[in-house]
Structure 1
Amino acid sequence: MTRLSVNINKFATLRNARGGNLPDLIEVARDCERFGAEGITVHPRPDERHIRYQDVLDLKPVVTTEFNIEGYPSREYLDLVLKVKPDQCTLVPDPPDALTSNTGWDTIAHQDFLREVIAALKTAGIRVSIFLNAEPGLVAGARSAGADRIELYTGPYAHDYTRIIADEKFRKDNFEDTFVKTAAEATAAGLEINAGHDLNLLNLRYLKTHIPQLKETSIGHALVCDALYYGLENTIQLYKRELTGN
């Protein structure tokens, strides 16, 4: 079974736009779980433009499924994660001013840094996932750095989805030889596989069908947009159906 973790950053963006506490992130997290989400993801950034560090502290005793904290491993971020001790920490190489995550780690160039960070997190009992581009050659570096999982950066897949399903050669070069092979390399190396970024109701099932070993997807922006039309409970169920093939 592939777990659906709902990234609630966009709910925080909406709250911050007007000040106050509407929507209430605590209630959002509880409702997501009540409606079927198997995890809650947050990605605090240094400028706190959506999730605030205090939100992470407040959510810790509330989340009853799986709590996943994404982010760049700055000292401030690591101090927060080591204090909260979530179920999973997803390391993302984005700089503080990035609008959104748009690439994965170079696990070769940053091997020593990643190994040190991951060792500290695992000593605290936290499962560690590394945000990774779909490049099979980077998997060994993730394994040697000590990661438990990789999270496939699926932005390029989502961008090219219509061409992937329509053009056989393009599909081989830009999906089978990248995403599918990276997943196979990870499985062979003993790493579990997550995926996230720009996944939606259109492209999610195809990814799951071709990477059946997928353990977890983290979805926020598209899910929140769909919830405006379908309602949050129905939207979560729609995403879960895409993951189960029903």
Structure 2
Amino acid sequence: MTFIFLAFIVTKSLSYAKDNQLNVSVPNFPPFNSFNENKHCKGASVLAIQAVLEKLNVSIEIFPYPYARILHSLKTGELDLALILHNSRIDNDVVYIGPLSLSKIILLTPSGISIRCYNDLYQLKNIAVIRHAQFNEQFDQDNTLHKITVDSYEQAINMLEMARVDGVIGSKIGLEYALRQQNMDLSLISNAFELGTKELGLHLAKNSSFITLLPLLTTAVQDNYRQDLLYQLYQHQIKYCVTNKKSSQVKSTDSLN
């Protein structure tokens, strides 16, 4: 009898632990989930979502997924929560909580092509766009532009470098980091065409058992909101995870000489 009672308690505790785990996602490419220079260094979006959930009595597991899978998994309930740019594709399946931060949206072109107004975009042969992401309402709904879907900013910048596209749209943070990875000229950022800003916020699945956390999540987002929160986190990680990593590698090499 005692054994049965103990087994019941253990089973109930394990069940609660599993039920109390919040399945969260961020885009599966740097600098949002991690950094290529240091895989143990948390990405800017991971830090942001951990700050929001810090005071909630839940355990979390983060699943870095491609954008398309994030949207699908929120619909099916595989994911409880995601931190991505506000995406109206899943408005019927999630409760949007935001903004937590704003993200500057830019369109990069090669140095020989200058974009001064939206109509100039029609001169571009191909524009790389993250699959299923939304960046700017006019751009998202414009079916006359020639768009090529990609899975990451790194892939998009590779295509730009190889002249397979002559435009790339996305967040300033993501594109700046991708340019760094390819050792490309960062002045492309300052010469980019700005399409405004996009809200970054939580997307809480309506069929999640954690829907009851909505009031707490709303308060947590409001308490942590800063217009440039994600950019600040990105800059911090670049300084302490990327720059320091390179410096330590240089010192190690010098010590061998």
- Structure 2-normalised TM-score? 0.30
More contact order relative to length (CA 8 Å, sep ≥ 6): 2
- Structure 1-normalised TM-score? 0.31
Which has more radius of gyration?
2
